[in-house]
């Protein structure tokens, strides 16, 4: 199997050296070059034809976001962003995903321990290999940062007490969720979402969606009661579970151990719905790497839930939705651009 050819773009010589060393330890990756700014990167892309770019955001002469926007317009290719764990860094990184970056990873600190550096290396290698596999999907990506249009309902929606929509996503999920949620009208039943995302980024992600969607999007507070017309995004630091107290459904934020290597975990959220009214749940599985949530989704479907699973052609990574399909959890296999409409139709019957 051919090695994944990587070009490292970063203005810091130290960072370029560390990244090159860490990546070169993997036999499936070849670092074909380094560039200290986007102008050098542009020439090296033409000369070296890398499979994946790692791209810093803050660089001299041209910042990473401007370069990414031009790249995705003229020569779209898989890009993994290197981000800082700051509020500003979170905002810029989410914008990079809107522009077309496949994924991001937070830079390790100068004082990072050996264990933290090893964790960074594993995640970076995994994200680069996943990014390389998405090259053929770039033609499906929206390369404009323009939000999806806000939608007004053309039919009255109908749903009973305890009806809700539960969505799970991972790699590529921030943009997939944006397309679905911004395509939904007011008056939807409560929507709960688990997206694999760091704690520093999840509140910013919820805020960005809230600015773009008709529905109210937020991170839930502990014990917050679910309300129609709201979307609740699991915080990146806790599992989101849905509990029942009397006639009300409410959010429980669990600080339990990771499940399937994730916190928040889709598996945890889906499993919590088994104890409520599975027949009133619509479970949605969007793009993502791995199998988190697939088994619990099958349990929900067996208990009477309806389900929508994103199809392979429109998924950036058909890991989680592919696993759900293989386990028999997909009542409907749906292209991403049809998910919102399917949900509206389901509650317009």
Please give the chain's pLDDT, 349 residues, in tens.
799 999 999 999 999 999 999 999 999 999 999 999 999 999 999 999 999 999 999 888 899 999 999 999 999 999 999 987 665 678 899 999 999 999 999 888 777 788 889 999 999 999 999 999 998 777 545 443 444 545 545 567 888 888 999 999 999 999 999 999 999 999 999 999 999 999 989 999 999 999 999 999 999 999 999 999 999 999 999 999 999 999 999 999 999 999 999 999 999 999 999 999 999 999 999 999 999 999 999 999 999 999 999 999 999 999 999 999 999 999 999 999 999 999 999 998 7
Query: Is 262 a catalytic site residue?
Result: no
| pLDDT, the chain, mean | 92
Domain boundaries, the chain: 4-135, 164-346
25: which DSSP letter? T
Which listed residue (170, 202, 265, 272) is catalytic?
170
b/e burial code for range 255-275 (CB count within 10 A of at least 16 → b): eeeebbebbbbbbbbbbbbee
Report yes or no on whether pTM surpasses 0.85.
yes
261 phi-psi bin (left φ>0, alpha ψ -120 to 50, beta other): left
Q: What percent of the chain has pLDDT over 90?
A: 84
Q: Supply the pLDDT for residue 87.
A: 59
Which listed residue (26, 37, 56, 196) is catalytic?
196
Which listed residue (26, 37, 51, 292) is catalytic?
292
36: which DSSP letter? S
Q: State CA 267 to chain mean position distance.
A: 15
Any idea how long the chain is? 349
Query: Is 292 a catalytic site residue?
Result: yes
Write out the CATH class of domain 164-346: alpha beta
pLDDT tens figures, 165-186: 999 999 999 999 999 999 999 9
Q: Say whether 164-346 and 4-135 share the same fold.
A: yes
- Asked if 213 and 340 touch (Cβ cutoff 8 Å), the reply is no
What are 31's two structure tokens? 């670092």
Identify the CATH assignment for 4-135 out of 3.40.50.2300, 2.40.30.10, 3.30.590.10, 3.40.640.10.
3.40.50.2300
Query: Is 144 a catalytic site residue?
Result: no
């Amino acid at each position: 199997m051919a090695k994944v050819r990587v070009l490292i773009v970063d203005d810091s010589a130290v960072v370029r050296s560390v990244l090159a060393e860490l990546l070169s330890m993997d036999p499936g990756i070849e670092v074909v070059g380094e560039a200290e700014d986007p102008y050098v990167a542009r020439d090296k892309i033409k000369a070296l034809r890398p499979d994946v770019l790692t791209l810093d955001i803050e660089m001299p002469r041209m910042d990473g976001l401007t370069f990414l926007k031009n790249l995705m317009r003229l020569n779209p290719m898989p890009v993994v962003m290197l981000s800082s764990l700051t509020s500003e860094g979170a905002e810029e990184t989410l914008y990079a995903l809107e522009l077309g970056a496949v994924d991001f990873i937070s830079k390790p600190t100068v004082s990072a321990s050996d264990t933290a550096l090893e964790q960074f290396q594993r995640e970076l290698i995994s994200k680069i290999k996943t990014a390389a596999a998405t090259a053929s999907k770039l033609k499906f990506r929206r390369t404009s940062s323009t939000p999806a249009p806000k939608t007004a309902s053309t039919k009255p929606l109908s749903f009973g007490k305890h009806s809700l929509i539960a969505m799970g996503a991972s790699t590529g999920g921030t943009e997939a969720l944006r397309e679905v949620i911004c395509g939904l009208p007011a008056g939807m039943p409560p929507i709960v979402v688990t997206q694999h995302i760091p704690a520093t980024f999840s509140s910013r992600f919820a805020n960005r969606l809230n600015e773009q969607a008709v529905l109210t999007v937020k991170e839930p507070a502990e014990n917050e009661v679910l309300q129609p017309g709201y979307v609740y995004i699991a915080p990146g630091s806790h599992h989101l579970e849905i509990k029942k107290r009397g006639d009300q459904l409410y959010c429980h934020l669990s600080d339990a151990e990771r499940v399937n290597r994730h916190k928040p975990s889709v598996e945890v959220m889906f499993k919590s719905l088994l104890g409520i009214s599975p027949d009133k749940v619509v479970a949605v599985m969007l793009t993502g790497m791995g199998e988190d949530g697939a088994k619990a989704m099958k349990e929900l479907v067996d208990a009477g839930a309806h389900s929508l699973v994103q199809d392979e052609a429109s998924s950036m990574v058909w890991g989680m939705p592919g696993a759900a399909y293989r386990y028999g959890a997909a009542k409907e296999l749906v292209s991403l651009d049809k998910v919102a409409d399917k949900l509206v139709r389901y509650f317009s019957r």
